[in-house]
Amino acid sequence: MNSNEINARIDALDYLRGFALMGIILVNIIPLLSVRLQVSSTSDATYWRFLYLFVEGRFYTIFTFLFGVGFYLFISRSMAKGKNGYVLFLRRILVLFIFGSVHVQFQPGEALMIYSVCGLIILPFYRVNKVVNLVFGLGMLLVISLFAEKIFMVVPLMMLGIAAGQFQLFERMTNQWKVTTVFTGVMFVLSAAGLIYQYQYAAFAFGSGDEFQKTQRFLRIGIMIGPIVSAFYVGLLLTLLSFPFIRRILSPLKSYGRMALTNYVSQTALILLAGKVFDLFDQLAYIQSFYLCVVIFVIQLVFSTVWLRFFKFGPLEWVWRMLTYLEIPPMRRPPSS
């Protein structure tokens, strides 16, 4: 594999991480600011349906899958450099667990602690045959999806990420846009069918009775079809990235994804800061939370783009790397010629 192929793969992963973060904040802001539910005749109800049709259970799935891909790449590259990839990875997820243990004090639904624990669980699968990882991961995900247990999807999603790394999925999809387009088309058909089925239960009731049961069914179906919709999103973005013009337009998203850890944690910080300064707790409506997310996203997007012009790593990424390798990595970029 030449250096251009490696760079293309890394860019694709960064774009996807940034894209996943865009959806994650839309969901996380709801419990953080105790966003109010509105009656069914308002724009809030429409936005609520939008969230649970197109966002909830879709973007965290992508983020989790990418953790598995990164898991495989990290160990493989460490081994290629003559280092003990297993020891480094264990140190890496220990640091992630520490980050998560702090973050969870402010964001009870945070994922870093879960990722670190599940990373330990899937470590033996690094040496397992790629076909076994693929089949076993898909089988587990299918069964768990049928029971709509979102938290238990983490392990099979990470296993599929490992399999994707073993199959060099992103190298192939980046260079074979026709295959990517076909995959995206198939996932679109499956996603459309699942979303149409889910929408039939799109009530808006949280009390009791038939409407409440209908709403619960709506939410459960959303979790069940989440991985399919996520796969469509991934395929669509990869297809778009095959066009240089689109890559240039979306290039700030790559910077956003390269600082995924910093931006994920700072999303919580900015949400809570806005809530404190502007007294937004239990005051925002659903659609208003979207506007706040857009403002935060723009702030982070600009910050990430500017920061990476001068520095090699995001702030938390630099700390993560330092504690993983037990050495101080150079932070500033050398002046360009």
Phi, psi of 37 (to 5 degrees): -85, 140
Q: Token digits for 36?
A: 């109010």
- Both tokens of 79, joined, read 């081994």
pLDDT of 280 strictly over 90? yes
Query: Would you say 330 and 311 are in contact if contact means Cβ atoms under 8 Å apart?
Result: no
Measured CA to CA, the distance from residue 221 to residue 146 in angstroms comes to 9
Mean pLDDT, the chain, whole residue set: 92
Q: Comparing 8-12, 110-114, 267-271, which segment has the lowest mean pLDDT?
A: 8-12
Between 1 and 132, name the one with better pLDDT.
132
Looking at residues 265-290, what average pLDDT do you find?
96
Angle at 158 between CA 303 and CA 215, to 5 degrees: 85
Q: Which residues contact 334 (CB under 8 A, 6 or more apart)?
A: none
The mean per-residue pLDDT over the stretch 232-248 comes to: 94
The whole-angstrom separation of Cα 174 and Cα 4 is 11
Q: What pLDDT was estimated at residue 209?
A: 66
First-to-final CA distance of the chain: 27
Number of H helices, E strands in the chain: 15, 0
The reported pLDDT for the residue numbered 37 is 77
Report pTM: 0.94
Q: Is the confidence at residue 137, as pLDDT, over 50?
A: yes
Position 8 pLDDT exceeds 90? no
Instruction: Tell me what pLDDT residue 266 has.
Output: 98
DSSP SS3 for 332 = strand
Are 161 and 72 spatial neighbours (Cβ–Cβ below 8 Å)? yes
pLDDT at position 265 is 98
**What is the rounded average pLDDT of the residues 293-313?**
97
Would you place residue 1 in the very low, low, confident or very high pLDDT band (cuts 50, 70, 90)?
very low
Query: What pLDDT is recorded for position 227?
Result: 97
